[in-house]
Structure 1
Amino acid sequence: MKTIFVIGSLLLPVAVDAAIAVVVHPSNQTSLTQEDLARLYTGKLSAFTDGSSAVPVNLADSAPLRSEFDQKALGRSSSQVKAFWSKLVFTGKGTPPKEVASDAEVLTLVANNPNIIGYVSAGAVSDQVKVLLTLE
């Protein structure tokens, strides 16, 4: 029992303080507000502020960071976001962002394409990407 308490105590700060880094290719010179980010991930905006095409990438539904991102960036639960996109897809008015399995996959895609925007755990950021926003 004592072991479980100690392990739980050690993991609690990690779960509570999971900052999310919104990342783009280093050559991308755009700036972004949290409102712009929400508009990109809901299909209401399709370009960066500099006019270049923006392609958002999402983590898979099963990724714990996904639900945190939905709440912090979009102000909605994951089920609300899923319902939002289901409605748009059904009516032919939108396509949800591509989903990938891991932070590593997001970093690889972003590092290889200046139009892709994604998000990862702040601790996963590498020097191959540029952080536009950090969501606390």
Structure 2
Amino acid sequence: MDRFRYYLRVRYGECDAQKVVFNARYADYVDLATAEWLRALGFEKELQTGELDYQLVKQTLEWKAPARYDQVIEASVSAKTIGNTSFTLATEFRIAGHEPVIATAETVYVHVNSKTLTKQSLPQPWRDAFLRGAAGAVVDHAGWARVGADTA
């Protein structure tokens, strides 16, 4: 099954002196990819109104290989587990056009009320959508889909 793909280009300011993506930036990339995954699931309105609000509870990152300045990164997001108020997402990072995974992240979020920040249950339609995922959806902030492997 085809995975959800979010493409972003590594900017100079996201790199260390060796022009390798600084490790803390992967958390930023997870945040961007998660928001785009939720939009791909059809939750644009809920994200804008705060009806779908969530806080990060735990995040584990594992690095396997570097990404460098000006490379295009592909981030894929999928639901790993869904609880009553929490959900765990798995994110895999690749250099666009290449299959080897260069980094992974497992992120636990809790659904909260946007005004009180208290935990609240995930509605069943949301749970179903999270589990169904957004396989085949592509969000391209790097222009990768237009030029493809020529920029890998």
TM-score by length of 2: 0.26
- By relative contact order (CA 8 Å, sep 6+), the higher-ranking structure is 1
Structure showing the higher strand proportion among its residues: 2
Task: Flag the structure with higher helix content.
Answer: 1
